Amino acid sequence: MPGVRRVWLLLTLAACGSTTPPPAHSVARPQSVTPATMPDAGAPRASAVRFPVAEHVEGYRARCESGEAGGCTDLGAAYEFGVGVPRDFQRAASLYQRGCDGGNALGCVDLAGCYQRGIGVARDEPRAVQLLRRACDAKEATACANLGVSYEQAIGVARDLDQAARLYGQACNGGSLLGCANLGFLYTIRPTPDYEGAITLLRRACDGGEPVGCANLGALYGKGQGVDKDFERARQLYQSACDLDPIGSTCMNLGGIYLVGQGVTRDTPKGLSLLDRSCNAGVAPACRNIGVVYVTGNGVPADAARGEEYFDRACQLHLDKACTELTHVHRLSALQKELPRLETECAARTRGACSRLGRAYAELDENVAPRARPLLEKTCQLGVQEACADLAVVVAQGDPKGGLALAQSACATRDGHGCAILGGMIQAGVGTPADDARAAQAYQRACDAHDAEGCIALGDMLRNGSTAVPRNTPRARAAFETACTAGDPMGCALIGTMLTFGEGGPTDKARGKTLLEKACAASVEAACSILGRAVPKP
């Protein structure tokens, strides 16, 4: 039976401000989300908001057909957003290509967004960088801001914060308020943060009408960084960001504070409505957070099927964490149906049934997890280290340090599952300060023991990269390969994807397709999506 590490991460909302994710016309991939109880400072978003107007669509079309490159770019935006025409990503990408080829730099920016996200074209991060560099060299300030994001987050290029800062500065000086906002954010993540400089830049951007500036400034007030902590001021700024954003991509921060009741009266329906706006704008973490709410029944009646839909949307938007968790959401539904049988077998003292029942309880939501404790304690005392690791998750709900100690003990016995649980706790900051570097070490020990969960978690960290764990796609590829060999369908989907697109090593489309087909047959949505197939019904 799979372990419960994924559930540990799944049961907590992602920090709604841990990334100010991209709307359409964007090239920024959301950073890895981490569990939190309040919004964090927002990461930079690519592309300033330019929203098509339904009444102008025929004008866009006429301009494009007459050979005006900018008209093709604007018409492409209408198709991307589905404004005045049916939504059609492939047609949008084709029109952006016409605009770019015709000399419209914004067409190149928007086409780069398509390649960055795999919208209407195959995902190709290096190609996106080429397009952004071309537009930036043509003095398009928005392109320089977006190219800065690529260097900051190692998207298609090696991470280079100095180069990112230069590009943000160039964009800001060129009139891009997004460049100013992104540079301000960069000041907050330096080894020695410059909050005074950050606040000056973020205020400049916000006062000029750039929603990202308002959202990130609000995050500083929410955390009390460089200013006195002021939740009401944070709310006002989040509200301004949402109001300024015609597609609602920056509404996620505002929705987050209503979901958790941070400085406001908790209002789950309002929070979900705001998150839904961001999700509809293509913000993957917003879709995932809605999924978490429905799967866990946090403020709403639990609805695993509905939650699964939102996880799938986040996965389709290339949020790797959501793709990883989606397989487990399927499992939660299956376990719920399996409980009556396991309870009957445990009561009848069928061999091993109580242990399986305990682990099933631990893998489900917090409302039933306490019932797992006596069953897992008994099994752990018999020396079953996997049960000890799962017991750590249950104990940590009321005693984080005690749960961490149990996970450390399980990992110390070289139990791969125990090390995977330990990595999840360290990454989430359970019983210890959050530390990606230490979490990666625990995941590596789990993967070395051929624990698929640990390999996938390690691969996720290496594939996305962070300040503490540099991006290393060849190592990520090896980790996913180990997970697949260990029998995890998601591991096969991930290595199959990397083989198909030549990410982290040579392209092998034939083997990639074989592995994707294997994962799709196991109902991994991400694999079926790449293959263009429907998910098989269980």
Cα 426 to its chain centre, rounded Å, is 18
Task: Tell me if 518 is assigned to some domain.
Answer: no
| Domain boundaries, position 166 | 49-175
- Joined together, the tokens standing for residue 480 give 């996913």
Assess if residue 132 is contained within a domain: yes
- Candidates 207, 215, 272, 239; CA nearest to 42 is 215
Helix, coil or strand: residue 14: strand
Q: The domain that contains 62 carries what CATH number?
A: 1.25.40.10
In whole angstroms, give the CA distance from residue 518 to residue 530: 13
Contact assessment for residue 497 and residue 490, using Cβ atoms and an 8 Å cutoff: no
Tens-level pLDDT at each residue, the chain (538 residues): 233 223 233 333 444 333 333 322 222 222 222 222 333 334 334 444 456 777 889 999 999 999 999 999 999 999 988 889 998 999 999 999 999 999 999 999 999 999 988 889 998 999 999 999 999 999 999 999 999 999 988 888 988 999 999 999 999 999 999 999 999 999 998 888 999 999 999 999 999 999 999 999 999 999 899 999 999 999 999 999 999 987 778 899 999 999 888 889 999 999 999 999 999 888 888 999 999 888 877 788 878 778 888 988 888 777 777 887 776 676 666 676 777 887 787 777 675 666 667 666 656 554 445 555 776 777 777 677 777 887 888 788 778 999 999 999 999 998 898 999 999 999 989 999 989 999 999 999 999 999 998 999 999 999 988 888 999 999 999 999 999 999 999 999 999 999 998 999 999 999 999 999 999 888 787 788 778 765 554 4
Amino acid at residue number 201? L
pLDDT at 143: 95
**Residues 196, 198, 200, 202, CA torsion sign:** negative
Does residue 389 fall inside a structural domain?
no
* 299, part of any domain: no
Four-CA torsion 507, 318, 517, 501, nearest 10 degrees: -10
The answer to whether position 166 is within a domain reads yes
- Does the global pTM surpass 0.75? no
Q: Give the burial class of 538: count Cβ atoms within 10 A of its Cβ; 0-12 exposed, 13-18 middle, 19 or more buried.
A: exposed
Q: Does 148 fall in a domain?
A: yes
Residue 91 lies in a domain: yes
Give the per-residue pLDDT at 428: 87
Q: Which residue has the tokens 């950073």?
A: 31
DSSP count for the chain of H helices, then E strands: 28, 0
Q: What is the pLDDT of residue 351?
A: 59
The Cα 117–Cα 455 span in angstroms is 24
286 within some domain: no
DSSP 479-508: HHHHHHHTT-HHHHHHHHHHHHHTTTS---
Residues 220, 223, 226, 232, CA torsion sign: positive
Q: Could you identify the residue written with the tokens 């509200």?
A: 239
| pLDDT at residue number 533 | 64
Per-residue DSSP letter, 349: T
Structurally, how many domains does the chain consist of? Answer: 1
> How far, in Å, CA of 394 to CA of 288, rounded?
23
Residues linked to residue 35 through DSSP beta bridges, in sequence order: 14
- Record the tokens describing residue 511, joined without a space: 């083997």
